Amino acid sequence: MLNLDPALFPKLTTRKALVIVDAQNDFLSPDGALPVTLPNNLTEHISDLVKAFRPYGDIIWVRSVYEESRDPEDESILTSDAPMIGGRRAVARGRRPQANPHDQPSSECPEAFLTAGGRTARPASAEAPPALKSLMR
């Protein structure tokens, strides 16, 4: 058996971080494009979490900003590790290809505001609600 002495290991300084993704009006405001309704008072919960975590590490705020309509056909979303052949995924024998989400009309999708022809995003939609904006520093 190999004996390891932990005292000989190098000391590594580690840091903790809280990553908050898309805490913005489109999701947290009742009149947003895709409002999150559960849990109730999500903005308040995020605020409480940020305040409680701040002494222990860094807080990283990430938001989605769409400055213009985007065509979903132009997106490269990888849903498989299968190789690409001629711009299309190769399908292994015996496996059925997965349905292409782009084959569905965008008007039926609640996220259509992110695509070409979808509804236009409001300027403040990517902004954080005032209760969270004051916590960003």
Strand ranges in the chain using DSSP code E only, listed in sequence order: 17-21, 58-62, 84-85, 88-89
Contacts with 97 (C-beta within 8 Å, 6 or more apart), sequence order: 89, 91
Q: Do residues 68 and 42 touch, judged by C-beta distance below 8 A?
A: no
Q: Do residues 16 and 54 touch, judged by C-beta distance below 8 A?
A: no
Residue 37 Rama label (left phi>0; alpha psi -120 to 50; beta): alpha
Check pLDDT > 80 for residue 73. no
Which tens digits make up the pLDDT trace of 13-61?
A: 888 999 999 999 888 988 887 888 899 999 999 999 999 999 999 999 9
Mean pLDDT, range 73-97, rounded to an integer: 59
Q: Is the pTM of this model over 0.85?
A: no
